[in-house]
Amino acid sequence: MTIINSVSGQIDSSELGCTLIHEHLRVRSDAVFTQFPHLYNEEAELQKAIEQVNAAIARGVKTICDPTVLGLGRDIKFMEKVVHETGIQLIAATGIYTYHYIPTHFQNRDIDYMAKLFVRDIEAGIQNTSIKAGFLKCATDVQGITEDVEKVIRAVARAHKETGVPIMTHSHPASGTGLLQLDILEDEGVNPENVLIGHCGDTDDLDYLLRVIDRGAYIGMDRYGISRVLDTESRNNTVVALAEKGYADRMFLSQDHCCTIDWYEPEVIKKLNPNWSFTLIFDEIIPQLKQKGVTEEQIETMMYKNSKRWFETN
């Protein structure tokens, strides 16, 4: 078994249970909040997070992994409040979320400097608390592997090598960035079995997905409810096709839901993603997958066993 850092303290990998691998209690723009805090309602945001987490718990969820890091407004005290109110096992991340640039502070310092900060989050605590990160996060979108993005990926790889905690990425399948991420991570000596390439559910290109799987990585079918990118039927058909090929042990189901997010006005988000929530996969998706032939055992693998294996592999 493996000991995992959670917001409420260390847990054993055997205690993960049903896990939502990629969800956000809150996403907000770091700089905007710092400069214009009057735009935000902390109590309303807290209540929305508590509501979503409790709804997930009512459906059997025991653990949520929240990959909110620098660039997405990480606030470990906010996470701690949600844990206190709900009792959820919440695993926080360290890393940087950027599609293009990193803050000038990091541009003028080397990769190892950044990696040491990630290691500090894992070994000492996040934001001057004793709450430690349990996994690493980096991102590559349509802009590709920019100089700054590569710096983050390499820093994440080095922090992983020092600490052993697994890596989750944000990727853009249409641009093939998951494979590019693996190229850099492997160049740094990372075992792909420690890597979850996120947002692979945004494509129904089985050839691409099989190439990622064949490299040894896990794939996140983790954006259910974001239908403007790919409709639910296509997402389901892709999961079914991969399950039929025997790859349930490489897939995670999740929603990438943000209980609150300041990127758009709330009504715009609701219009774009009307069914988006922490419970969509339980209320609608898993029943649909079962109707299409996905077995109970395969669902258990995707929702219970894969998270345990991801955290345990070294």
pTM, entire model? 0.97
Distances (CA, A) of 253 to 39, 210, 256: 33, 17, 10
Tokens of 31: 């700089």
Whole-angstrom distance, CA of residue 64 vs CA of residue 49: 12
The pLDDT score that the predictor gives to residue 188 is: 98
Instruction: Mention every residue, 6+ apart, whose C-beta is less than 8 A from residue 268.
Output: none
The pLDDT score that the predictor gives to residue 314 is: 73
- The separation between the first and the last C-alpha atoms of the chain, rounded to the nearest angstrom, is 12
Distances (CA, A) of 29 to 36, 37, 74, 139, 160: 10, 11, 9, 16, 26
pLDDT beneath 50, residues of the chain:
none
The pLDDT score that the predictor gives to residue 1 is: 79
The pLDDT score that the predictor gives to residue 279 is: 98
The pLDDT score that the predictor gives to residue 244 is: 98
Q: Contact, 301 vs 307, CB < 8 A?
A: no
Q: Contact, 89 vs 62, CB < 8 A?
A: yes
Whole-angstrom distance, CA of residue 80 vs CA of residue 8: 7
The pLDDT score that the predictor gives to residue 45 is: 98
Distances (CA, A) of 296 to 37, 285, 292, 301: 46, 13, 12, 9
The pLDDT score that the predictor gives to residue 121 is: 98
